[in-house]
Chains A and B, each alone.
Chain A
């Protein structure tokens, strides 16, 4: 089994794009309905970029690839996020 990290590990990369911390947001999966913290996503790094999957149904939630000063961000499986604006 490939080891995975928590989505806490994405906080730095996401902070380059978003001005609020997405990892502490709450997420509902559009595929399986699972709810939980964004930080609980499973993050795989044994690949050219980083891939985050739903901890419940393993749907690909987010893909992030960096090439020099260009960042590719696929948020296709994000579902619904609730972000606290402090």
Chain B
């Protein structure tokens, strides 16, 4: 049952950027597996019984009972600073999930896929990219990843030096504030021209997944519709003002 809380222990962690960290969590009473794009609710309980809960996208396919989430620190946040800066291996929290059956990619599908991630919105899309590799899928994948500046890039090495199983995956980085020297595209928010040039043509009938802050999701979804994509093939996941889906 996804509805109950499962105890989980931190078994590993990786810094992804100065403000984001991937947590490797082992569900101590087992994990049923999940589909790429799904999320979990995370619950922290203080010694006095106070609880706080947030939603985080799963960042990778499960390995046994072990799952990964990537957390972006929200300044002044109640939960994310602890997860990014303080939680140590052996510390525990509770997870509920896997959750959400709509914003998911089916690894058995051969349809082309266009992924649009804004900031931490890349996390569930990375799970799809990794699931594609794990399934040895040859579905055509395009990832447009919008990020403020180079130091905010998540999964930098993995996206730059494509793994052997990633043939057929194209990645375009769209910087919005600061771009590395020599980047032809001037820093700007993702607009219809980017979606047109770096997404996939509507005639290919791709499944489109769009995840990020509300403004990003609105802009990309509107651009996709304007470019002739079937609204029924556009799936969105908006992040709250808190910086993560809630």
Contacts and interface: CB of A to CB of B under 8 A. Distances in A.
Contacts of A17: 3
Nearest to B215: A3
Contacts, number: 67
B132 interface: no
A16 B214 CA distance: 26
Interface string B76-108: 000000000000000000001101111100000
A9 B245 contact: yes
Contacts of B1: 15, 19
Contacts of B235: 39
Chain B interface extent, by class: 20 to 34
Which 6 pairs from chain A and chain B are nearest by CB?
Answer: A24-B101, A39-B102, A11-B99, A12-B41, A15-B3, A21-B101
26 contacts: A3-B214, A3-B238, A5-B240, A5-B246, A6-B237, A6-B238, A8-B39, A8-B237, A8-B245, A12-B55, A12-B96, A12-B97, A12-B99, A15-B3, A17-B3, A19-B1, A21-B2, A23-B101, A23-B102, A24-B101, A24-B102, A36-B232, A39-B100, A39-B235, A40-B236, A45-B240
